[in-house]
Amino acid sequence: MTRYIVRRLLSLPLLLLGIVSIAFLISHFTQGDPLSSIVSERQMDDEQAVAAAKARWGLDKSLPEQYLVYVGNLLTGDLGISFRTKQPVSQDLLERLPATLELVIAAMLFGSLTGIALGVVAARFRDRAADHAARLWALTGSSTPVFWSGLILLYIFSVKLGWVPGPGRLDARMSPPDGITGFLTIDALLAGDTALFWDAVHHLILPALVLGWTVMGIVSRLVRASMLDVLNQDYIVAARARGAGELRVLLNHALRNALVPTLTIIGFTFAYLITGAVLTEAIFSWTGIGSYAVDAARGLDYPAIMGVTIVGGAAFLLTNLMTDIAYAFADPRIRLS
Amino acid sequence: MTAPLLEVGNLTISFGALEVVRDVNLSLADGKTLGLVGESGCGKSVTMLAIMGLLPDHVRVSGSIKLRGEELLGRPQGELTALRGKRMAMIFQDPMTSLNPVMTVGEQLGEAIAIHNRGMTRGDRQERALALLRLVAIPLPDRRLLQYPHELSGGMRQRVMIAIAMANDPELLIADEPTTALDVTVQAQIMELLQRLQAERKMGLMLISHDLGVVGDIADEVAIMYAGRICERGPVDAVFDSPHHPYTHGLLASLPQIDRTIDKLVAIPGSLPSLSARPAGCRFHPRCVHAQDICRRAEPELRTVASGAIAACHFAETAVVSERATVRA
Amino acid sequence: MADVAAPSSIRTRRLPAWLKLPVLVGIAIIVFWIVASLSIDLWPIYDPIDMVGRRLQPPSADHWFGTDALGRDVLSRTLHGARFSLMMSCAVIICAVLIGSAIGAIAGYVGGIVDGALMRLVDITLSFPPILLAMAVTAAMGPGLQNAALAMIIVWWPVYARLMRGQVLSIRSREHVEAATAAGASHARTLIKHILPLSWSPILINATMDFGQVVLLTASLSFIGLGASPPTPEWGSMISEGAIHFYQWWICSGPGVAILSVVLGFNFLGDGLRDLLDPRSK
C-alpha cells in the first residue's frame, strides 16, 4: 500500500502543473488580450500601472517565458491583485477560506449523516414505501437548484416562521470573536461567548441544510446499493446466528462494511459541494470564497476568478487524494497488503 | 425424563408458491450427533436456517420446531435472537465469507460473548475470548485476537468460527458443511475438534453434509434428504448396513470405501430435479432403476423397515435388497 | 445457502420491467417540456417580454404564477425559458458526446503516448470543480449564452472521453474484433464498424443523466450573471431577478420548479434506461 500512496503523491505535482497550465491558457484567451486579465479597465490608461503589471507577469517576453513567469508567480503564492478589493487575491482567499470551510464541513456532516441514515433505511425496507420515499427525497435534493431552494427556505423559515435569522454569518449587532481559527462557532466557544456561539450556529443551520441536501442523494444512493450488497453476505447470517439483533446487524456489521466503498465518493461529493457552496454563499451573503467568486464573475475580476479556479482545482485534487488514501486505510484487506 | 434437545415435526417451508421442504421430522438428544445428508439444493440448508429462525420474513414455515420442548416457530424475533448464539449456535461452510472482513477476530469473538453477557467487563471478555481460542487449539491466541480474518489460514478461520459458536456453551450446535471449503488435510482436524468439543460439552450436534462418508464416521443417527423430503432416516449403522431406499443405496454405492465388498463405484444417473419441476409421485422415480407405475403416481410415505430405520419407498423391502445382491455378485 | 434465493420473476406484468412509474413520470415531464419549447409561440399566453400586469402581483386567476418586478407574467416567462434551457443543454451534450467520444475512441484504439497524453488532459480537466472551470472560461471569453455553452462543452467532454476509452479498450479485445483485425480490416473500419456500435449504450445512459446537470449548470451560470442577460426569459437569470425580491417568492419559484422538474425527469429516464440497457444493474 505504501507504494500506492507514493505513486499517488508523485502524480500530484504533475496534475497541479496541469491545472496551472490550463489556467494560463484560459487567461491568455481573455478577451483576446491577457493584459486585460491582469489590469482592470480603469487602470488601462495608467501607463505606470500597465508597465508594472507587464513586467511582473513577463508580458513583454515570449510565450514560453511568460508561462515560466506565470508558474513562478503562482509557486510563490502570487495570484495577482483583485480588481475590486485591490488586495492580493491570495490574501483575499485566505481571509475567506475559514467561512467556506465552516459551511462546507457543516454541510458535509449533515449531508453524509442523513444520507447514510436514508441509505440504511432504504436498504432495510427495500422496495417498500420507506425505500421509495427515501430515494425520492434524496433525488429531489440533488435535483433542486440551491439558488432557488435557498431563497424559498429563507423565505419560509426566516421571513414567515422566524425560526432562523436571515442571510449572513452573524447578527449585525454582534461583533465577530477574535479570529483564531476563523470558524465563528469555534472562535466564539474559545472566547467563552455562548450567545455569540448560538448566533453563529443559528446562521449556519439553513445554508448548511440547503447545501447538505444536495449531497445527501449521492451518499444515500451509494450507501443503499452497498448495503444491499453487504446484507446478502454470509457474515450477516453468521452475525444473526450468534445472536446479534437487527440494529447490531445493520449498524455494526452491514454499515461498517458498506461505508468502505462510500468513502470513495467523498471526493466526488466535494465537487458538488464546491459548486453548491458558490451558489449557496451567494444566496446567504456568506462571506466565503464562493460569494467572492460570484462577485468576481459578476464584476469580471479576472485575477480573482483565476485564483479561485486554481485554488479550487488544487483543493479538489487534494481531497481526492486524501479519500483514496483513507479508503486504503479503511479496508483492512488493502491496508495490510 | 426431560424433553429431547431438538424435535422437528412436519416442517414445511415455502417460498411463495414453491415448496422447498415438506414434512421433515427430525429429533436429536443431548450429546448425540445427527447427520443430515443430501445433494446441494435438496433443502438441508433451508431446514437448518429454519431451525435457527434465520429465514427471511416472506418465507412460510409451518410444522413445529421444539428446543427442549419449547416451540420456536411463531416466536417473536426478539426471543429467538436471545436464543441464537446462547442455546443454539451455528458454524458455516465457508469461514472466509462468514467472518466479517472489517472486524478483527477479537471483535467478533468479543461480540458473541458480549451479546449474551450484558455487563461483563472488558477484561473478563478478553479472558474468555482467549480461553475460547485455546479451546479450539489456535496457536498464539493473543496475537490472533488482533488479526483480521484474511490474515488467517482456512483451517484457522474455521476454528475461529467454532470458537465463536462455543462462546456461550450452546446445547445445540449446527454445523453446515463445516469442512467442505477446507483443504483435505485440515478437514480431518476440524472434524476431530468438533467431536472432541461435543464429547466434552455434551452438546447435541447437527451435522449437515453432502458427504455420507464424513457423516458415517461421527453421527449416531442419519437422515437422508432428497428434493425437499426425508427419504430415509435411522441409526447410522442400520442405514449404512442395509439401506432401504434406492437413493441411500446409490449414495453409499458412490462412496469409495475399503471395508465394503462393493468393488465398483456407481454414480446415480440423472440429477436433482429443479424446485419448480419436481416430479409427481415418488420424487426420486426418474432416477430410480426400480421405478414402477405406482412410483409415478403415488408419493410413498415413510415407514419402518426391517433395519429399524424408516424409509419412503414403495419397494423398501424388496428393491434395494435385490440390488444389493446384484452388486455383491 | 444457495437454495434460499427467493424467486422474484414469477409475477407477470403488463409493462416491460424497466418501464416503472418514475420512468413514465420522467418521460411525461420531458415530453411536456419538449412540446412546450417547440410550440410555445402558439400557446394562448402572455408575451414573456412585455409588461402585461401590475408589478409584483402574487399568483392569481389572471397570472397563475404571479408577475415580476417589471409586471411581466412569470408563467409565460417560465414556459418560454424551456426553449433556451433545452436547446442549449442539447447542443452542449451533443457536442460533448461527439468530441469526447472521438477523443476517447482514438486514445483507446491508438494507445501508447497518444493515449497517455490525451488521458492526462482528461484527468486535469476533470480535476477542476465544474462550476469554477465554467465560470473562468465564460468570464474570460465574455459573458453570454454562447460562451457559457462553449465553457460547458469544455467541462463535459472529458467525461465521455474517459467513458468511450474504457469501452473501446474492453471491446477491442473481444474475439470478433480481433478476428476483424486479423482479416485485414483497416483501423478506421474496425473502429467504426465493430467497436462503436457496441459502445453507445453507456454513453446514452450517461448523456441522459448528465442532461439534467447541464440544465442546472446553465441556470447557475446565468444566475451568477455569466449566461443569458436580461430581458431574456432564462430560468437562471429569472431566479437571479427573483433573489432581489425574495419576499415575492413566486418570481423565483416558476423557474425553480421548472429546473427541478427537468432535472428529476432526466434522472428518472436515465434510471430507466440503465435498467433497460445495462445488464449489470439488475
Per-residue pLDDT tens digits for A26-84: 887 776 566 776 777 777 777 787 787 777 777 777 778 888 888 888 888 888 888 88
Q: What is the mean pLDDT of residues B243-250?
A: 86
pLDDT at B256: 66
Calculate Rg over the CA atoms of chain A: 24
Distance from C-alpha of B202 to C-alpha of B32, rounded to nearest angstrom: 8
Residue in chain C closest to A13 (alpha carbons) equals C124
Rounded to the nearest angstrom, the minimum Cα separation between B81 and chain A is 5
Band (C5; pLDDT cuts 50, 70, 90): very low
Q: Is B277 on the interface with C (CB under 8 A)?
A: no
Q: Is C259 on the interface with A (CB under 8 A)?
A: yes
Around A202, how many Cα atoms within 13 Å sit in the side-chain half-sphere? 15
Q: Is C201 on the interface with A (CB under 8 A)?
A: no
pLDDT at B264: 55
Checking if the pLDDT of B224 tops 80, the result is: yes
pLDDT at A82: 86
Q: What does the mean pLDDT of chain B come to?
A: 86
Q: What percent of chain C has pLDDT over 90?
A: 34
- Measured CB to CB, residues of chain B less than 8 Å from chain A are 49, 52, 54, 77-78, 81-86, 89-90, 92, 94, 97-103, 111-112, 115-116, 148, 150-151, 161, 164-165, 167
pLDDT at A209: 94
Nearest CA to C127 among A320, A13, A278, A265? A320
Distance from C-alpha of B92 to C-alpha of B37, rounded to nearest angstrom: 15
Q: Which residue has the cell 389572471?
A: C62
Checking if the pLDDT of A237 tops 70, the result is: yes
- The b/e string for C72-88 (b: 16+ C-beta within 10 A; e otherwise) is bbbbbbbbbbbbbbbeb
Q: Is C61 on the interface with A (CB under 8 A)?
A: no
Whether the Cβ atoms of residue C55 and residue C74 lie closer than 8 Å to each other:
no
Checking if the pLDDT of B319 tops 60, the result is: no
Q: Is C230 on the interface with A (CB under 8 A)?
A: no
A333 and B101 in contact by Cβ < 8 A?
Answer: yes
- Tell me how far CA of residue A221 lies from CA of A107, A217, A225, in angstroms: 17, 6, 6
Among C125, C131, C152, pick the best mutation site for testing chain A contact (most A Cβ within 10 A): C131
Better pLDDT: A202 or A32: A202
Q: What is the mean pLDDT of residues C12-23?
A: 70
CB atoms within 10 A of CB B106: 19
Q: Which residues contact A212 (CB under 8 A, 6 or more apart)?
A: A106, A107, A108, A109, A110, A111, A114
pLDDT at A193: 85
Strands (E), A99-166: none
Q: Which residues contact A40 (CB under 8 A, 6 or more apart)?
A: A83, A301
Distance from C-alpha of C186 to C-alpha of C113, rounded to nearest angstrom: 21
Q: Which three cell numbers stand for residue B159?
A: 476454528
Q: What does the mean pLDDT of chain A come to?
A: 86
Band (C10; pLDDT cuts 50, 70, 90): very low
B112 and A257 in contact by Cβ < 8 A?
Answer: no
DSSP letter for each residue of A220-277 = HHHHHHHHHHHHTSHHHHHHHHTT--HHHIIIIIIIHHHHHHHHTTHHHHHHHHHHHH
Q: Is C174 on the interface with A (CB under 8 A)?
A: no
What are C34-77's pLDDT values in tens digits?
A: 998 888 888 877 778 877 778 878 888 777 888 888 878 888 88
Strands (E), A76-139: none
Whether the Cβ atoms of residue A301 and residue A82 lie closer than 8 Å to each other:
yes
Checking if the pLDDT of A202 tops 70, the result is: yes
Distance from C-alpha of A181 to C-alpha of A185, rounded to nearest angstrom: 9
A176-180, A280-284, C177-181 — most confident range: A280-284
Q: Is A239 on the interface with C (CB under 8 A)?
A: no
Checking if the pLDDT of A230 tops 70, the result is: yes
Distance from C-alpha of A54 to C-alpha of A50, rounded to nearest angstrom: 6
3-state helix, strand, coil in chain A (%, to 5): 75, 0, 25
Q: Is A283 on the interface with C (CB under 8 A)?
A: yes
pLDDT at C68: 81
Of B97, B148, B167, the CB nearest to A235: B97
Calculate Rg over the CA atoms of chain B: 21
Q: Is A125 on the interface with B (CB under 8 A)?
A: no
Q: Is B40 on the interface with C (CB under 8 A)?
A: yes
ipTM: 0.87
pLDDT at B63: 93
**Vertex B34 angle, CA B32 and B40, to 5°:** 160
Band (A88; pLDDT cuts 50, 70, 90): very high
**Vertex B144 angle, CA B138 and B149, to 5°:** 100
Rounded to the nearest angstrom, the minimum Cα separation between C5 and chain B is 9
pLDDT at B134: 93
Q: State the greatest distance between any 2 C-alpha atoms of chain A, in Å, as a whole number.
A: 82
A305 and C139 in contact by Cβ < 8 A?
Answer: yes
Of B15, B45, B55, the CB nearest to C7: B15
Whether the Cβ atoms of residue A122 and residue A131 lie closer than 8 Å to each other:
yes
- The b/e string for A66-102 (b: 16+ C-beta within 10 A; e otherwise) is bbebbeebbeeebbbbbbbbeebbbebbebbbbbbbb
What are A276-324's pLDDT values in tens digits?
A: 899 999 999 999 999 999 999 888 888 888 899 999 998 888 888 888 8
Calculate Rg over the CA atoms of chain C: 23
Of C1, C2, C6, the CB nearest to B15: C6
Q: Is A34 on the interface with C (CB under 8 A)?
A: no
Fill in the amino acid letter for A138.
A
A242 and B84 in contact by Cβ < 8 A?
Answer: yes
A333-337, B121-125, B181-185 — most confident range: B121-125
A333 and B84 in contact by Cβ < 8 A?
Answer: no
**Vertex B164 angle, CA B9 and B69, to 5°:** 25
Checking if the pLDDT of B66 tops 60, the result is: yes
pTM of the model: 0.82
Q: What is the mean pLDDT of residues A170-195?
A: 82
Q: What is the mean pLDDT of residues A249-272?
A: 83
Of A233, A243, A336, the CB nearest to B81: A243
Nearest CA to A297 among C88, C255, C233, C227? C227
Q: Which three cell numbers stand for residue A241?
A: 446466528
pLDDT at C282: 45
What are B260-294's pLDDT values in tens digits?
A: 555 555 667 777 777 777 888 888 888 888 888 88
Which residues of chain C have a CB within 8 Å of the CB of B18?
7
Checking if the pLDDT of C4 tops 50, the result is: no
Checking if the pLDDT of C29 tops 70, the result is: yes
Rounded to the nearest angstrom, the minimum Cα separation between B128 and chain C is 31
Of B41, B56, B58, the CB nearest to C3: B41
**B222 DSSP β-pair partners:** B35, B234
- Tell me how far CA of residue A98 lies from CA of A152, A187, A283, B120, C179, in angstroms: 26, 11, 18, 46, 60
What are A39-52's pLDDT values in tens digits?
A: 777 777 777 877 87
Q: Which three cell numbers stand for residue C264?
A: 428529476
Q: What is the mean pLDDT of residues A238-243?
A: 92
Which residues of chain B have a CB within 8 Å of the CB of A241?
52, 54, 84-85, 89-90, 92
Q: Which three cell numbers stand for residue A77?
A: 503564492
Residue in chain C closest to B275 (alpha carbons) equals C3
B86-90, B233-237, C170-174, range with the lowest pLDDT: C170-174
What are A113-131's pLDDT values in tens digits?
A: 999 999 999 999 988 899 9
- The b/e string for C35-70 (b: 16+ C-beta within 10 A; e otherwise) is ebbeebeeeebbebeeebbeebbebeeebebbbbee
Among B94, B102, B150, pick the best mutation site for testing chain A contact (most A Cβ within 10 A): B102
